[in-house]
A and B are shown apart, each in its own frame.
Chain A
Amino acid sequence: MTGAFAQLRTPTRRNAELLMLLFSVMIVIAAEAAVEAAHDGHLSAHLATYAAVPITIGVITHLVIRRVAPYADPLLLPIAVLLNGLGLVMIHRLDLGEQQQAKDAGTTFGAQAPTQVLWTVIGVGLFIALIVFIRDHRALQRYAYTLALIGLVFLLLPALLPARFSEVNGARIWIRLAGFSIQPGEFAKILLTIFGAAYLVAKRDVLSLAGRRIGFATKKRFVGFDLPRGRDFGPVLAAWLICIAVLVRGHDLGTSLLFFGLFIVLLYVTTERVSWVIIGVLLFAAGAYLSYQLFGTVQTRVAIWLHLFDTSSPATDPTHCLSPAYVHCSSGYQMRQSLFGLGTGGIFGTGLGGGHPELVPLPATDFIMSSFGEETGLFGVVGLLVLYALFVARGLAAALAVRDSFGKLFATGLSFLMALQLFVVVAGVTRLLPETGLTTPFLSYGGSSLLANWVLLALLLRVSDAARRPATTPPPPPVAAAEPVGVTA
């Protein structure tokens, strides 16, 4: 059989994945041990719990991948397990800190780590279901419009619901029902990536070829760029309008930026026309300017960003913050505490459990990166960034290697989503950009975010499996046959 030979020539790298998973588990256990040693002075039974999570999810997902996606990239899963595990350790560590704060203040407090363990389990369940049932990513193309509709509903539903069902901390991006709260936008971004990739692959020729040229021709070459046809603007404008709508109703800067960035990149990759990027940046700039003019939330965030240490600005006057009760006083407080945490951590950090990341409001969700920055220092944060960079690089490598256009576009979209979200978060907590309130993938506390990222991982692994699968091995039968396979671009 040629297939058998092909398998011999193309290693699956599954054992490498297992070894990497072992590293991930060891790092997570070491981190949890450090937290417990610093907090209690000895190791406790908790260590077993926090070791069991990465071991269990690592082993199960690894076995499933061995079976259903043997050629999948060997680095993506260990990185995800490591990030998920480290996030859990940090959330547990922040629980300990907030428990102390609550005890001092005489208030009650709910631990977040057990909930996050539950979400992790659900996330892995979802991951397994997807990677088992979707045997070929191209199958998704067929449901592009249905998925897009679901995505739009997810995206717009919180904005349409009354505030009491959807508003948390000033952003209307939630659906809160019967004690549960989910952020449907997290799933919408994946659904709309599927749609975007499918739609653009279908319209590719029109979008990349038709249009007028703006500029002038010299004897040798043309200077300027191609302007797309007016009617091709339609979908772009629609995407822009949806983003603005999300922003208007939801007060959610981050998600809006994420969607628009995603759509522009998909357009650019499809058409290879820089004009789309220029148009996109101009449209985004206009949208950002408009929203700054119209909405107080945006103005406040920009004011905090610009005048963080300016005591004369009412938004950031620190004299409200001198009370020994450490009340979260003005809105700049959170941002300042984030920077103080990062600065106090310095190059090597205070050691896990040795700092005070709980002083930053919302340390486990939006600001988990500054928690890591404080306790593991510049080295720790850069280490995390490298993990994400590897994740994104492996995703883009799958995009380059996969043979169908949809797969390329889809994997690029998912990788880009991850990268842009991370950039917006880290730039936000380090004051490179105004803070926007996005979660850090895999690390942050929060069910929707974690589930969505496990879904993203399943889809990316599926594409990478297709990318690395030897060409001679026939793809699993049912759906693929119906679909024309895209020619490699």
Chain B
Amino acid sequence: MNTSIRKVAAALGVLLAAVFINLNFVQVVKGSDYRNAPDNQRVLLNEYASPRGQIIVGGGTGTAIATSVSTNDELKYLREYPEGPLYAPVTGFYSITATPSPYLGTEGIEKYEDSVLSGSDSRLFGRRLADILTGRNPRGGSVELTVDAATQKAAYDAMKDSHGNLRRGAVVALDPTTGAILAAVSTPSYDPSRLSLHDPSKILDYYAALNSDRARPLQNRDFNQLYFPGSTFKIVVSAAAIKAGYTPSTQIPAPNGYIASTGENVSSCKGDVINCVENFGGEKCFDGTKATLAFAFAKSCNTAFAELAVDQLHGQAIADEAKLFGFDPDNQLDIPMGVANSTLGPSGDLLDNGKLAHISFGQQSVGMTPLQAAMMSAAVANNGTLMRPYLVDKELAPDLSVLKQTKSSVMSQVLTVSQDKLLSEMMQDVVTKSYGTGGSAALSGYTVGGKTGTADTGATSASGVQPDAWFTGFALQGNTPRIAVAVIIENAGTNGSEVTGGLAAAPVARKVMEAYLKAHP
């Protein structure tokens, strides 16, 4: 009998081996497949099992704009955004990340600072271990933003029209001396709390409604939307001109019409909108033949800048200067969210006189984010030194000790200090001079400079689509740069009137600067 008992034992050994091999297959080989399977809720449950860190706004108030509250349902913590849509472009949202596909995942700071907020960051490992050993619930770290609460609120409110409805557009404010982003508003916005619920069907309903809204509330205009810069691009062309030896008082040709392909000045374009450049709405610049650079800038004469760009500066000089300001197709800004690259369009456009003429006043294929617009003013305000923009001031451990403090850094020097002073004065003229287009940005007690833009959106005037209204500017206190602001309001200009862009956008910029300077005198 013993022989057959041994054979039975051997057979059982084979069964054990089969089970062992299969367990290895299930738990190791297929392990990650099973872990990430669509209907495996375990990863999701774990993600929501401990409180996520807060997102805090700066400015010393320490207000939490994203916070986790404990719930009674299976996902133990719910992400809430007490300020609703105000900070949505910054915080993003924290949605159920388990697939299937229509689920949204995370956006904004929630996505880019996830390792700190969730507590999975390697710098938090020691603390996490301590939490487990001492029996405390593991918590995520917090992220303190550079955004200033008063400025952000003022910017959001300023985007409302006289009826209290939000206009479509964006506001970005920077501290010119550091690059800290003081405000980032994109309107209309959405309520991130409603995308961060625990009920997938409610999330999907709200998401579908947002997605079908023609005002595109989900679009983060501050950082991800490229607009035609319109006349605000003349800041770049002027900087290139100053570098080439021009001064604000240099006389440049300023005809009523300019045909770039032949270099011909004409008194009127007579409806030739393809080859012939004229001033916005066919206006006369100074005397219809020439003007100083400062006057052409303040009055925003297209013909003067087209002729300056095509006949004198040429495409390469403008592209080089634009790159210093941040128009760089090769290097993406990382704030830490990715920012769309502002661009001059295809490089071939710079060699084509007709196209270069249109580039000189920010049309053709030039694309610029509102953040880029603010960076232009910030560089001019800060003696020509462009600081790298950033949104996260500090990463904090759960006990609020600082894990990382962002150090401001220089991104480029757009002009020398003395050259920059000239450009700064030109921008101040836009606000102070009677012929300037940005008078409504003026703020008593501070030196305000800026540049307006009324950018055709690509559709012809005849289609009835109104141009976008731009203002980008800065406020100096004495000689100290305090704040740089860019405002765009979509379709808020009036066809045929350059001054309308400034009329719509400059008051918004003034309110933002005022709020910041009042809160931080």
For A431, the closest partner residue in chain B by CB is B26
A57 near B: Cβ within 8 Å? no
CA distance A432 to B135 in the complex (A): 39
Q: What residues of chain B lie closer than 8 Å to A489, measured between beta carbons?
A: 1-2
B206 near A: Cβ within 8 Å? no
A423 near B: Cβ within 8 Å? yes
For A340, the closest partner residue in chain B by CB is B40
Interface string of A311-355 (1 = CB under 8 A from B): 000000010011010100000000011011111111100000001
For B75, the closest partner residue in chain A by CB is A324
Which residues of B1-18 have CB atoms within 8 Å of chain A's CB atoms? 1-9, 12, 15-16, 18
CA distance A426 to B200 in the complex (A): 35
B520 near A: Cβ within 8 Å? no
Interface string of A242-277 (1 = CB under 8 A from B): 000000000000000000000001001110100000
**Contact status A419-B73, CB under 8 Å:** no
A483 near B: Cβ within 8 Å? no
CA distance A162 to B446 in the complex (A): 94
Interface string of A8-51 (1 = CB under 8 A from B): 00000000000000000000000000000100111000000000
CA distance A41 to B133 in the complex (A): 9
**Contact status B5-A269, CB under 8 Å:** yes
**Contact status A343-B2, CB under 8 Å:** no
Q: What residues of chain B lie closer than 8 Å to A326, measured between beta carbons?
A: 41, 74
Known interface pairs A104-B72, A423-B19; A347-B4 also in contact (CB < 8 Å): no
Known interface pairs A356-B42, A392-B12; A342-B20 also in contact (CB < 8 Å): no
Q: What residues of chain A lie closer than 8 Å to B40, measured between beta carbons?
A: 336-337, 340, 343-344
B199 near A: Cβ within 8 Å? yes
Known interface pairs A41-B137, A359-B41; A396-B9 also in contact (CB < 8 Å): yes
Known interface pairs A342-B27, A378-B23, A431-B26; A41-B136 also in contact (CB < 8 Å): yes
Stretch at the interface among A168-176, A224-232, A408-416: A408-416
**Contact status A344-B42, CB under 8 Å:** yes
B198 near A: Cβ within 8 Å? yes
Q: What residues of chain A lie closer than 8 Å to B27, measured between beta carbons?
A: 342-343, 345-347, 373, 377-378, 381
**Contact status B19-A393, CB under 8 Å:** no
A76 near B: Cβ within 8 Å? no
CA distance A317 to B45 in the complex (A): 22
CA distance A427 to B23 in the complex (A): 9
Known interface pairs A321-B39, A381-B23, A382-B20; A409-B34 also in contact (CB < 8 Å): no
A389 near B: Cβ within 8 Å? yes
**Contact status B198-A343, CB under 8 Å:** no
CA distance A269 to B1 in the complex (A): 6
**Contact status A322-B12, CB under 8 Å:** no
CA distance A423 to B42 in the complex (A): 27
Interface string of B53-82 (1 = CB under 8 A from A): 000000000000000000011100000000
**Contact status A432-B19, CB under 8 Å:** yes
Which residues of B223-239 have CB atoms within 8 Å of chain A's CB atoms? none
For B100, the closest partner residue in chain A by CB is A322
Among B4, B23, B32, B74, contact of A101 (Cβ-Cβ < 8 Å):
B74
**Most chain-A Cβ atoms within 10 A of its Cβ — which of B4, B38, B200?**
B4
Q: What residues of chain B lie closer than 8 Å to A382, measured between beta carbons?
A: 20, 23
For A101, the closest partner residue in chain B by CB is B74
A34 to chain B: closest CB distance in Å? 11
Which residues of B401-433 have CB atoms within 8 Å of chain A's CB atoms? none
For A346, the closest partner residue in chain B by CB is B31
**Contact status A343-B34, CB under 8 Å:** yes
CA distance A264 to B31 in the complex (A): 37
B21 to chain A: closest CB distance in Å? 9
For B15, the closest partner residue in chain A by CB is A423
Known interface pairs A41-B137, A269-B5, A343-B31; A430-B19 also in contact (CB < 8 Å): yes
**Contact status A400-B5, CB under 8 Å:** yes
Among A265, A340, A356, contact of B37 (Cβ-Cβ < 8 Å):
A340
CA distance A230 to B31 in the complex (A): 51
Q: What residues of chain A lie closer than 8 Å to B130, measured between beta carbons?
A: none
CA distance A63 to B20 in the complex (A): 36
For A268, the closest partner residue in chain B by CB is B4
Which residues of A387-416 have CB atoms within 8 Å of chain B's CB atoms? 389, 392-393, 396, 399-400, 405, 408-409, 412, 416
A319 to chain B: closest CB distance in Å? 8
A103 near B: Cβ within 8 Å? yes
A303 near B: Cβ within 8 Å? no
Interface string of A462-473 (1 = CB under 8 A from B): 000000000000
Q: What residues of chain B lie closer than 8 Å to A41, measured between beta carbons?
A: 135-137
B129 near A: Cβ within 8 Å? no
Among A104, A268, A345, A377, contact of B8 (Cβ-Cβ < 8 Å):
A268
A/B interface sample: 17 pairs, CB < 8 A:
A104-B74, A339-B26, A340-B34, A342-B27, A345-B31, A347-B31, A356-B46, A385-B16, A385-B23, A400-B2, A405-B1, A409-B1, A416-B8, A416-B12, A423-B18, A430-B19, A432-B22
Q: A343-B37, A344-B34 are in contact. List 19 more A-B contacts (CB 8 A).
A: A103-B72, A324-B199, A324-B200, A326-B41, A326-B74, A342-B34, A343-B27, A343-B40, A356-B45, A359-B42, A378-B23, A385-B20, A389-B16, A392-B12, A393-B9, A396-B9, A405-B1, A408-B1, A430-B26
